[in-house]
Amino acid sequence: MTDHNNMYHLFVKLLINDMSGDIFMPEFRKVLREKEKIPNFPSLTLKNLLPAMLRKLYPYLLLSLFVCTACGTSGKIRVKKHFDSDFFRTQFTGFALYDPEEEALLYSYQSDKYFTPASNTKIFTLYTGLHVLGDSIPALHYASERDTLYIEGTGNPVFLHPYFKDRNALGFLKNQELPIAWYPDNFTEERSGPGWAWDDYAYYYAAERSALPMYGNVLTITGNREKTECSPGYFRDVVNHDSKAPYPRDLRHNTFYIPEYIKTGDTLEIPFIQTTELTTRLLSDTLGKKVFHTTRKLPLNKKTLYSHTPVDSLFRRMMLESDNFLAEQILLMAAGTLSDSLNTRKIIDHTLQRFLPDIPQKPRWVDGSGLSRYNLFTPESMVYVLNRMYHEYPQERLFQLFPAGGVSGTLKHYYKGDGDVPYIFAKSGSLSNNYNLSGYIRTKSGKILIFSYMNNHYMHETTAVKQHMDTLLRYIREHY
């Protein structure tokens, strides 16, 4: 009888080492001559040998296929069991897991259903900014005519911002000898976004939108041993010490209420009401020169002054700190690159039609920050945009723009990896009774997978929701 083991091992060895169509195999020929006494067997080809070998190897190939399929099925069963838990019974949950290299949806649980995204909306805002703003932040538009310098805002949020401290526009305006007139009517929006909660008006996360923001559109109160400091100082005379006031600012007036004592180093940020008159006075007070507003539109040949702040610093701050004000202003700046109008609806429609025409489920998208409960997105649409970004931008740059689990931003205390090495790069989104997380996960096998995990209308503590999410994400990290 033929020594089958020798033949099979030799066949596999030769098959692996050389996949050419006609191979002379002296070792195989020797085995056949010795064992079967077949004389003058001049050549042996894979073409001759393959059918017989495949028949013999078929059970092993079938077993291998079964094992691979079982592994994938087992993973899906474990994920399904996760969502079958009683914990999720009374809430709305959606999940999608996608392999961007294989272009395969690995798991889907109600991923085509619509959810309130909260700050996951900022993923779409980031995508818009990356596509439209390029690598520069437009600080302001200007034009000199006769004896006046005319300016208009671009929506630039870093002008005198307490974090960025960008002074380029400030220096430019201070060095002007001509009177300055600013045109406010390119801003065609309400100060607050549609569907924002009215009683958020006095809190930093709901700073108003505007064409020419200054100081981040918030009054910053800083405590120290000697006195309370206010920035901008223009508001110093309307700051009152009143610990019993229900809100830190009056609803309809720029009158502020702060505690009697603020610890040294503590900071309060309170939005101020935006009006044309206030911006004019703030500019004049800050520049130390006369500024007036005008209804005269800037000419078509107006020039653009650019900020010194790198655009990725703006995107990173928006994403890591979940800064709603920056998100809103990024959309306004992007809108200003398309026309003379700073209009959020226009840039949203442009992004959906121009860049995302094939999105699986068209979202209801109304603002840049996700403060609005009118927003509706699906996990699949989140994964779609994350996949577009993954293929369009370098991974190193992209992952720097997202909070890293256990390391930075809003995820600093959650989804921790091994040591200081993160495995989650994602944007969270939370409103009361809603918590979502969408982004990228690096598995132990070296894969990068994209996921969106959305939870709406739960009555549990958010900490418990995060713990269940963490359990699933760690399983995916270990087994995919």
C-alpha separations of 417 from 277, 302, 354, 442 in Å: 51, 50, 37, 10
The domain tally of the chain equals 3
Whether residues 58 and 199 fall in one domain: no
Once rounded to an integer, what is the mean pLDDT over residues 37-61? Answer: 50
Once rounded to an integer, what is the mean pLDDT over residues 195-207? Answer: 96
In tens, the pLDDT along 204-235 reads 999 999 999 999 999 999 987 677 889 999 99
**Sequence letter at residue 276:** T
The SS3 call for residue 277 is: helix
Of 27, 42, 69, which residue sits at a domain end? Answer: 69
Helix (H) / strand (E) containing 229: strand 229-231
Asked whether residue 114 is assigned to any structural domain, the reply reads yes
CATH number of the CATH domain containing 103 = 3.40.710.10
The confidence score (pLDDT) of residue 31 equals: 47
Asked whether residue 314 is assigned to any structural domain, the reply reads no
Whether residues 423 and 365 fall in one domain: yes
Asked whether residue 278 is assigned to any structural domain, the reply reads yes
Whether residues 95 and 8 fall in one domain: no
The confidence score (pLDDT) of residue 196 equals: 98
Asked whether residue 442 is assigned to any structural domain, the reply reads yes
Asked whether residue 145 is assigned to any structural domain, the reply reads yes
Name the residue among 129, 180, 175 with its Cα closest to residue 156: 129
The SS3 call for residue 201 is: coil
CA angle (419 as vertex; 416, 421 as ends), nearest 5: 70
Whether residues 292 and 402 fall in one domain: no
The pair of structure tokens assigned to 179 is: 């009177």
Quote the domain boundaries for residue 217. Answer: 136-309
Whether residues 409 and 284 fall in one domain: no
d(C-alpha 289, C-alpha 363), whole Å: 47
On the CB side of 354, CA atoms within 13 Å amount to 11
Residue 348 has pLDDT above 70, yes or no: yes
Asked whether residue 76 is assigned to any structural domain, the reply reads no
Whether residues 142 and 285 fall in one domain: yes
Please, what is the average pLDDT of the chain?
A: 88
The confidence score (pLDDT) of residue 191 equals: 96
C-alpha separations of 42 from 45, 51, 53 in Å: 10, 20, 20
Confidence of residue 50 (pLDDT cuts 50, 70, 90): low
Which sign does the torsion angle of CA 213, 255, 197, 221 carry?
Answer: positive
Per cent of the chain over pLDDT 70 is: 84
Whether residues 34 and 95 fall in one domain: no
Whether residues 354 and 294 fall in one domain: no
Q: Judge contact between 449 and 443, C-beta under 8 A.
A: yes
Asked whether residue 346 is assigned to any structural domain, the reply reads yes
Once rounded to an integer, what is the mean pLDDT over residues 70-90? Answer: 77
Whether residues 189 and 121 fall in one domain: no
Name the residue among 316, 325, 337, 460 with its Cα closest to residue 401: 316
Q: Judge contact between 312 and 400, C-beta under 8 A.
A: yes
In tens, the pLDDT along 246-286 reads 999 999 999 999 987 788 888 999 999 999 999 999 999 99
Whether residues 173 and 252 fall in one domain: yes
Whether residues 39 and 19 fall in one domain: yes
Whether residues 99 and 157 fall in one domain: no
**Sequence letter at residue 265:** G
Asked whether residue 475 is assigned to any structural domain, the reply reads yes
The confidence score (pLDDT) of residue 48 equals: 56
